[in-house]
Amino acid sequence: MLQKVIPYAHQLLKEAIYSGDTVIDGTCGNGYDTLFLSNLVGESGTVYAIDIQQAAIENTTSLLKKHQISNTVLLLEDHQYIKRHIPEEASGTIGAAIFNLGYLPGSDKQTITTPESTISAIEAITEILRPGGVIAIVVYYGHKGGEIEKDALLNYAGSLDQKTFHVLKYEFINQKNDPPFLLAIEKRTQPKKTE
């Protein structure tokens, strides 16, 4: 009955994204979320997939090639600069974004997402997200440095204005070994004036 965290994140994205949309993978890693987004937006849509590591861009490139995907723009860049790469005309139309925090699976764990950069990236995307759009953030925090990022993110997301955003935390609270949880930020379609 209760979906695991990543399938639940994907379900929310499925509901938010339409064919032809422009969407963002903020941490493309090995490319699995990029592939998922790419199939959701279809040939007329575009996925901007970003990662700070060359190895991640290479892994994503080969996964996409294997699946003959051509609607994706791969960016070797720090995600805090994502807005520089999104065309002006797409501002306010972004249907969704996903972040999987932590380190590249299979890597030496030296490069991890950091609170400042992650929050800057999310903040930038909230500005260009369309009403009804969703940002899904899968928070892994069991590694060194993960707790600090988790706390900073909860603090940031919990303080977003409720007139403009719905913020959800989806978490299994009886599992051992710091399982990941989901933060989902939805830009409201009609901001309420009286809340």
Ligand X SMILES: C[S@@+](CC[C@H](N)C(=O)[O-])C[C@H]1O[C@@H](n2cnc3c(N)ncnc32)[C@H](O)[C@@H]1O
Report DSSP state, residue 174: T
- Phi and psi, residue 96, nearest 5°: -170, 165
Name the DSSP letter for residue 27.
-
Tell whether residue 45 is a contact of ligand X (CB under 6 A): no
Q: Does 29 bind ligand X (CB under 6 A)?
A: yes
Contact indicator for 52, 107 with CB cutoff of 8 Å: no
Is 37 among the residues that bind ligand X (CB under 6 A)?
no
Confirm or reject binding of residue 180 to ligand X (CB under 6 A). Answer: no
Q: Which helix (H) or strand (E) holds 98?
A: strand 94-100
Which listed range, 22-30, 128-136, 156-164, 171-179, lies at the site for ligand X (CB under 6 A)?
22-30
d(CA 141, CA 181): 9
152: enclosing H helix or E strand: helix 146-158
Per CB under 6 A, 50 contacts ligand X: yes
Among 56, 64, 139, 183, binds ligand X (CB under 6 A): 56
> Interface with ligand X includes 186 (CB under 6 A)?
no
Contact yes or no for 131/187 (Cβ under 8 A): yes
79 binds ligand X (CB under 6 A): yes
Q: Tokens 């999310």 map to which residue?
A: 122
Nearer to ligand X (CB atom), residue 104 or residue 157:
104
Minimum CB separation from ligand X for residue 166, in Å?
Answer: 23
72 binds ligand X (CB under 6 A): no
Q: Interface with ligand X by CB under 6 A: which range of 38-46, 107-115, 143-151, 159-167?
A: 107-115
Report if residue 46 touches ligand X, rule: CB under 6 A: no
Interacting residues with ligand X between 128 and 157 (CB under 6 A): none
CB 136 within 8 A of CB 12: yes
CB 129 within 8 A of CB 166: no
Total binding residues toward ligand X, as defined by CB under 6 A = 22
Name the site residues for ligand X (rule: CB under 6 A): 27-33, 50-53, 56, 78-79, 100, 102-104, 111-113, 117
